[in-house]
Amino acid sequence: MSKLTHIDETGAAHMVDVGDKSVTSRRAVAETIVVMQPETMQLILDDKLPKGDVLAAVRLAGIMAAKKTSDLIPLCHPLAITSVKIDISPLSASEMRIEAKVKVSGQTGVEMEALTAASVAALTLYDMAKAVDKGMVISSTRLLLKDGGKSGLFEAENNIKATGK
């Protein structure tokens, strides 16, 4: 196992100095699943919830969250993100998949931005639909793909859908 980069030799947390790293093209893809009642899914897909267009709100929330990640995660660097894409698709009659794709040309990766985008998008879906289904479950948030930088390519096992492009 490699050394934790956010912990110094005394055990104190610190922000990693990326100043000497090369600027490279980097991308990350994350997903999360929201499980709900089939009736809730249908209301979302038919745009029949009283709060308005759920899927539009979810996309915007994910994009905004990616841009604000360094404000939320204490040791995360602020990044000039070049692209955020939020894809939302039903997996079944009761499961919605949210995928966040984030790109940057920079000195550090965008894994946290992709994970944050997927998470906040899922929370927004919950918020938009909680009036009809308080029992929704947000689960399986994970990194699917990371590329760029010194460590190169990472792809999660059982990752069939994500292309990261």
Active site includes 127? yes
Q: Determine the Cα–Cα distance for residues 16 and 107; give it in Å rounded to an integer.
A: 11
pTM, entire model:
0.86
Domain-located, residue 19: no
Domain-located, residue 41: yes
Domain-located, residue 127: yes
Structure tokens at 68: 């604000």
Domain-located, residue 104: yes
Domain-located, residue 15: no
- For residue 98, give its domain range: 24-148
The CATH number covering residue 37 comes to 3.30.70.640
Given the residues 17, 20, 47, 127, the one annotated as active site: 127
Q: Determine the Cα–Cα distance for residues 77 and 90; give it in Å rounded to an integer.
A: 33
Domain-located, residue 165: no
DSSP assigned state of 122: H
Q: Per residue in 49-87, pLDDT tens?
A: 989 999 999 999 999 999 999 999 988 889 999 999 999
Q: Per residue in 10-20, pLDDT tens?
A: 766 666 656 56
Provide φ and ψ at 36, rounded to 5°.
Answer: -145, 175
What is the total count of domains within the chain? 1
The DSSP annotation for 24-81 comes to: EEEEEEEEEEEE--HHHHHHHHTT--TT--HHHHHHHHHHHHHHTHHHHSTTPPP--E
Domain-located, residue 69: yes
Domain-located, residue 157: no
